[in-house]
Every structure is written in C-alpha cells, then in structure tokens.
Structure 1
Amino acid sequence: MEKVIIALYLGLMALAANASPLIFYTHVNPPYVIQEQQQLSGLNIDIFQLLKQKSGLDLQLRVLSPKRAYKLTLYSPNSCVFTIERTESRESLFTWISPLFANRFALYQRHKNAKNLRSLADFNGIKIGSYLGSSVSEYLSSFNLKLDLTTTNLNSAEKLHRERIDAWASDTLLTAYILDNNNLDINPQGFEFYSSLEAIACNKQSNPAILQRLQEHLNQLQRSGEINKLIQHYQRLYGINTDL
C-alpha cells in the first residue's frame, strides 16, 4: 500500500510540474539565435529543443530585446532568460539552471598594423571595442583599459574594420560567424584572455519542481555529451579549430 501511495504522489508531482508553462525569453544573436522569416535556428535553439524533448516540460520560447527579457524575468514567475552570462552581480537575483557552456573571448586586430600582443598589459593605451552590458567589458574595465562600447558586437567589428578602434573584444564563436558573413579586414586569430559561463536565469518565484526537473535533464545532457556535440558542430561550421 505504501508503494502505491508513493507512486501516486510522484505522479501528482509530475503533473504539478507540467501544470504551468515555463517561458524562455531569448533575443536574436547569431549564431546562437538566428531569426529568418519568423523561423528560429542556431546553437541556443538547438539546446532549447533538446531540453524540451528530453525533459517533457512545457517550455515556450519568446523573442524579446535583451533588456526587456531581463526585466520581465526579474518580476514574472515561471519565466527565464535564455541564455545569459552568469556573473557575480546577477547571482542572487535568479535561480540558475547551469552550466550550459563556456564562452571564450579574445581580442582581435586588423591584419594591417597588427601588434604582437601577449598579455592584457600590452593593450594599455589602445582603444578596445566591446558592447554594453557584457561581462567581458566589465572585466576589461577592471584593468582600467580604454573601452569604446557599442550596442552590438557587429558595431564594434565594423568600427575596427574602419580603424576607429584598435582592437575588438568578442567571443570566439560570434567572431567567427561575423567574419564569415561580413567582408571585414580583421585577423581571425585573436588573443584569448577570458571566458564566461552561459546559463539559464529563472525568476526566483518559479515552480521549484519545474526548475529541479529542468536542471536534472540539463545535467543528463551534459553527461551524455549531447550539448558538447552541438557546440562542436557550430565551431566546425564557422571554421573554429576544435582540437585546441
């Protein structure tokens, strides 16, 4: 009889976990989220589909600006930002489903007049492009380096191409995508100096059973190597050497 009661309880818990949809707010950011004719694709979309399929949860995806996605998630239960950099300043604001993957960042220069730079100290006195709200810009600021912040990574890349800045700080996969899709005089070999953790940030009042189940299935996908295979697929697609 006790086993029957436990089974019924677990069944009710599963139903409760699926009672309300979990809304994932994301933003267009190729090659992580690509939007073409109302169709979404990219690395993050592939990860989302895996999580939805494996967990059996009612996960819904909505595209918003990064700022609006962040604010809505702060105040709306059963909602998450997908994905976002997990930083110390944000840690206490959300319940985290993590880790998804690590982003590697490098400093890039033009082919013309490129300097042989081996450490961040070598970048003192030169103007570095980055984008507002990124953890890499906060990291570079801590070294008192000269920053030029724009609204998007592509804006910074174009500034480097036009020689309005001296270097560009960007994650390696996004850089590979931008250089593959734009005719820019930028050396694809950058100086790697930083990494950040991408994660899912959920409202703290969200259904804990849903979040726990989501975390468990993310853990399974990490152990099986399925997420790593997706990452390697996109790295190869845009010419990043996965053997390093």
Structure 2
Amino acid sequence: MLKRLLLTFAGTLLVLSTAARAEVDENYSVVLLTENFPPYNMAINGKNFAQEDNIDGIAADIVREMFKRAGIKYSLTLRFPWDRIYKLALEKPDYGVFVTARLPEREQLFKWVGPIGPDDWVLLAKSDSPITLGSLEQAKQYKIGAYKGDAIAEYLTQHKLEPITALRDQENAKKLESGQIDLWASGDPAGRYLAKQEGVSGLKTVLRFNSAELFLALNKDVPDEVVQKLQAALEQMRAEGFVDDILNSYL
C-alpha cells in the first residue's frame, strides 16, 4: 500500500514537473542587450538608448530572424556603456549580449551562438592605389589614418607604426579619398560601412592583420535547448544565403 502511494505521488510530481516545464518553455524569454556598433547594431536615431524596432544593423536583423525561426521570445534593448551590458549578461539569468568576440578567456563564461559576422582589422586603400603589402612592417613607409583611442590605433602604435588619428573614424574615409593619408586602419566591415555613409566607395583591402568573429553571448543559465535551436536557425539562415543578403544590404 505504501509502495503504491509512493509511486502515485512520484507520478503526480512527474506530471506537475512536466506541466511546469512546458509552461516555462512556452513563456520563456531572453533579455537581449546590445550597443551602438555600426554596422552590426545601432540605434536608428543615433542615440545611446533604443528598444525593439528602433534598433537596426546587420547583427540586429540576423538575431531577430534567428529568434523568430527558433520560436524563442525575447526583448531587445540598446544601451551604453558596453561594460555595463556585458556585466549584466554575465551575471543575470536568461540575459544575452551581442555582438562580441569569442575570445579564449571568455569561452567558459557564456553559451555562444554564431558566428554572426567577422570583425577583422584591415588596411584600406583607394581602389586605384598601387600599394601592395605582405606584412604590417611594410606599411611603415605610408601615412596611416586611424581612430583616436581605438584598439586598432593602439595596436599600430605598439608595433612602432605612427598612425595619424582622427576623432571620428569616418573622417578617415574622406582623408583617404583626398590623399591626406595613404591607408586607413579600420575594422571590416565597419570601415566600409562608415565610408559608404560618407559617400566614399570602392575601397580595397591591402592587408588583413587581425581576424576575429562576432557572436551572441548568452548567460550560462540559458537552457541548452534554447541555444541549440538558435544555432540551428542561424545555420539554416546562412545556408539559405539570408546572412550574406543582410550583410550586403548594409555594405
């Protein structure tokens, strides 16, 4: 009799547990955070706070479609500074942040979905430039423009190059076009996007000196099933050409 009661009780708990899990699955939602990082994510009004449809960019469009296909609910907010939203995603259950580089020191801190796109460091030149480079060392003879305070500018300085820095990276597109600089050290695709915003096109990459890929980083509390669904959706989107179409629409 006792054994039968225990089995009945256990069965009831299993049913309740399954029902609760189904309810959680149906109502589960991820809090997504991002920053102004054109052309991947940016506020339509250019400010440092935006929500939902007031955010666009390559990554924002890809992430929205990814969640839609996976059938996962979410909210999306763009805010500043990056350190704050990164910390929230690291510490708060069911939070995520994008886009960010998947570095070895971060590997165990999050669950990852991606890659969403590249974040390479490049030297850009005008389309008719005769400059060819095999290494960063060979670039020392040229005038190189960079963004003041940016990691790329600091990297060049550390490697004994002396970049001519600008307060806004897009200023370098005009400098390159006018011949004030020979090369522009920027991110890819960020540099090409900023150049397009300034009416400058046809730039070519003469050297790619650092490569990284950008991901959606999810708090470790996010269920594995959710991560797997999102990754599967992204891979399907990439196979269909959706990811390339989004990338090309901004560049």
**Could you state the TM-score of these two structures normalised by the residue count of structure 1?**
0.71
Percent of residue pairs bearing the same amino acid type = 19
| Offset, 1:132 | 5.0
Aligned equivalent of 2:24: 16
| Offset, 1:27 | 1.5
3-state SS of the aligned residue for 2:213?
strand
* CA pair 200-137 structure 1, distance change in 2 beyond 3 A: farther
Aligned equivalent of 2:68: 53
In 1, the alpha carbon distance for the partners of 2:71 and 2:175 equals 45
* Structure with the greater alpha carbon radius of gyration: 2
3-state SS of the aligned residue for 1:170?
strand
Q: Say whether residues 1:117 and 2:133 are aligned partners.
A: yes
1:82–1:200 contact (8 Å) kept in structure 2: yes
In 2, the alpha carbon distance for the partners of 1:233 and 1:199 equals 18
In 1, the alpha carbon distance for the partners of 2:11 and 2:167 equals 57
Aligned residues: 232
| Offset, 1:83 | 1.1
**Could you state the TM-score of these two structures normalised by the residue count of structure 2?**
0.69
Which of 144, 156, 168 is the matching residue for 2:184? 168
| Offset, 1:46 | 1.6
In 1, the alpha carbon distance for the partners of 2:222 and 2:11 equals 24
Which of 228, 231, 243 is the matching residue for 1:231? 243
Q: Say whether residues 1:77 and 2:77 are aligned partners.
A: no
Which of 32, 35, 48 is the matching residue for 2:43? 35
In 1, the alpha carbon distance for the partners of 2:230 and 2:148 equals 29
| Offset, 1:16 | 3.2
2:170–2:198 contact (8 Å) kept in structure 1: no
CA deviation map 1:13-58 (0-9, x unaligned): 3433565642111122333224335622222122222232123333
Task: Show structure 1 runs of 5+ residues with no match.
Answer: 240-244
Aligned equivalent of 2:106: 90
* CA pair 53-234 structure 1, distance change in 2 beyond 3 A: closer
Aligned equivalent of 1:99: 114
In 1, the alpha carbon distance for the partners of 2:29 and 2:232 equals 21
In 2, the alpha carbon distance for the partners of 1:171 and 1:31 equals 11
Which of 47, 68, 77 is the matching residue for 2:84? 68
* CA pair 40-107 structure 1, distance change in 2 beyond 3 A: same
1:31–1:42 contact (8 Å) kept in structure 2: yes
In 2, the alpha carbon distance for the partners of 1:227 and 1:156 equals 35
In 1, the alpha carbon distance for the partners of 2:96 and 2:164 equals 30
2:173–2:198 contact (8 Å) kept in structure 1: no
Aligned equivalent of 1:129: 146
| Offset, 1:78 | 2.7
Aligned equivalent of 1:108: 124
1:131–1:150 contact (8 Å) kept in structure 2: yes
Q: Which amino acid aligns with 1:123?
A: A
1:176–1:238 contact (8 Å) kept in structure 2: no
* CA pair 98-21 structure 1, distance change in 2 beyond 3 A: closer
Task: Show structure 2 runs of 5+ residues with no match.
Answer: 1-7
Q: Which amino acid aligns with 2:230?
A: L
3-state SS of the aligned residue for 1:220?
helix
In 1, the alpha carbon distance for the partners of 2:41 and 2:138 equals 34
In 2, the alpha carbon distance for the partners of 1:117 and 1:42 equals 31
Aligned equivalent of 1:242: none
Aligned equivalent of 2:3: none
Provide the alpha-carbon RMSD of the alignment.
3.8
Q: Which amino acid aligns with 1:214?
A: V
